[in-house]
Amino acid sequence: MDKLAERIDFLRQGGIPIYEPGLDDLVARNVEQGRLSFTTDLAEAMAGARAVFVAVGTPSVRRGNGYADLSYVYQAAEEIAANLVQDYTVVIDKSTVPVGTARQVQRLIAKANPRAVFDMVSNPEFLREGAAISDFMRPDRVVVGSGSQRAFDVMREIYNPLYLNGTPIVETTLETAELIKYAANAFLAMKISFINEMANLCEAVGADVKPLAKAVGLDGRIGGKFLHPGPGYGGSCFPKDTLALLRIAQEHGSTSRMVEAAVEVNAAQKGRMIKKIRDALGGSEAGKTIGVLGLTFKPETDDLREAPALTILPALSEKGAALQVHDPQGMGEAAKIMPECRYLDDPYAVATGADALILMTEWNQYRALDLQRLRALMAQPLFIDLRNVYEPVMMREAGFTYIGVGRLQ
């Protein structure tokens, strides 16, 4: 159920409102077999339901201040309350919400409908955009927060068919489940900021971050994932959730200096990338043509929220650089936000006449570019690889001046 009639109509016609690999087939299969249908009518959606998932958005109230806008959550709660007419229903919060929200929703429903027989569950989601289906089907763990054994039983029933493969289910309280979500995202953000700092340190001392990350990550206690340096983390989750965690800590008279540092390092990293590009262009980007490959915050999504490109590109264009860009999925949205860029159809058009080519997002189609063709098209063979996709030696051999993040030159 969604309130947006046009979205429901679009889904009913077989449309998928976001780009997520495999989602169209998965939805089509389930619709065809009668397991999935779409409606704007909550009563219809809830009829006979033992479990109701709330997965509404919780955007920041103002960008960057850490307050989540919970109005959609509370509005959904009011409407669910009015439709709780059956014997027993589990109301499950899937949205990422500040600690205490599920309990607040529980109170709200109980007050709005004193006859409702229900339990509240917090069931945070850990999937990544671009890998949503496989992450959901094969999660590392499932977290279920509740105060009721009956609710735990319903949740086990829901997840059992998916998780017969032994996925651990962590059962805990509402508040703990809510905090787990923030703790997990904050830890991953810290890992990224940590490796970005190490990359910067590598540049300072003349070391190479690639073998460093590999060797450090091979320690099982540390783990190799999320140790790829880059232009800083973006997306709808890490930037928002780290700030929300800090806000939650502050509101409860506590702090997290580690997460604070991760946020600061991430902001500084985007600035460092701007300086890296400027320095590579001889100290000024004015009058230079810069080609950019990738705009979205990560590959396999059309999502531009908090993408490093949205900070880095306007800063370059403000100083007089002409930007020509490509992204396999994000150009429609980007054109609305950054009308100053020229949007081109393929990577080679982006390279044409460019004084520098920046690899901003590591889409697969940028991993095996025809280097000779690129170099021949460019005004200057300067390749700035903000995702360390290419190897410095190979790029030098291909005739490029190559600059990575934390790589030995």
Asked if 257 contacts 263 with a C-beta cutoff of 8 angstroms, the reply is no
Q: Does 127 bind ligand UGA (CB under 6 A)?
A: yes
As measured in angstroms, the least distance from the Cβ of 362 to ligand UGA is 8
What are the phi and psi torsion angles at 169 (to 5°)?
-110, 120
Cα(273)–Cα(308) distance, rounded to whole angstroms? 9
Q: Does 237 bind ligand UGA (CB under 6 A)?
A: yes
Residue whose CB is less far from ligand UGA, 235 or 347: 235
Near ligand UGA in 183-212, by CB under 6 A: 185, 188, 192
Binding mask 149-188 for ligand UGA (x = CB under 6 A): ------------------------------------x--x
Near ligand UGA in 288-347, by CB under 6 A: 297-298
Q: Catalytic pick from 77, 189, 237, 338?
A: 237
Cα(387)–Cα(358) distance, rounded to whole angstroms? 10
Q: Does 128 bind ligand UGA (CB under 6 A)?
A: yes
As measured in angstroms, the least distance from the Cβ of 95 to ligand UGA is 10
User: Which of 182, 194, 238, 366 is in the footprint of ligand UGA by CB under 6 A?
Assistant: 238
Helices (H), 173-287: 174-205, 209-217, 238-251, 257-280
How many of the chain's residues bind ligand UGA (CB under 6 A)?
Answer: 20
Asked if 115 contacts 86 with a C-beta cutoff of 8 angstroms, the reply is no
The answer to whether residue 237 is catalytic is: yes
Beta strand pairing call for 322-326 and 356-359: unpaired
Cα(5)–Cα(399) distance, rounded to whole angstroms? 55
Chain-centre distance for alpha carbon 127: 9
As measured in angstroms, the least distance from the Cβ of 110 to ligand UGA is 29
Q: Does 234 bind ligand UGA (CB under 6 A)?
A: yes
Beta strand pairing call for 342-343 and 322-326: parallel
Q: Does 235 bind ligand UGA (CB under 6 A)?
A: yes
User: Would you report the helix, strand and coil content of the chain in percent, each value rounded to 5?
Assistant: 45, 10, 45
Supply the residues annotated as catalytic.
237
- The contact set with ligand UGA (CB under 6 A) reads 96, 125-129, 185, 188, 192, 226-228, 230, 233-235, 237-238, 297-298
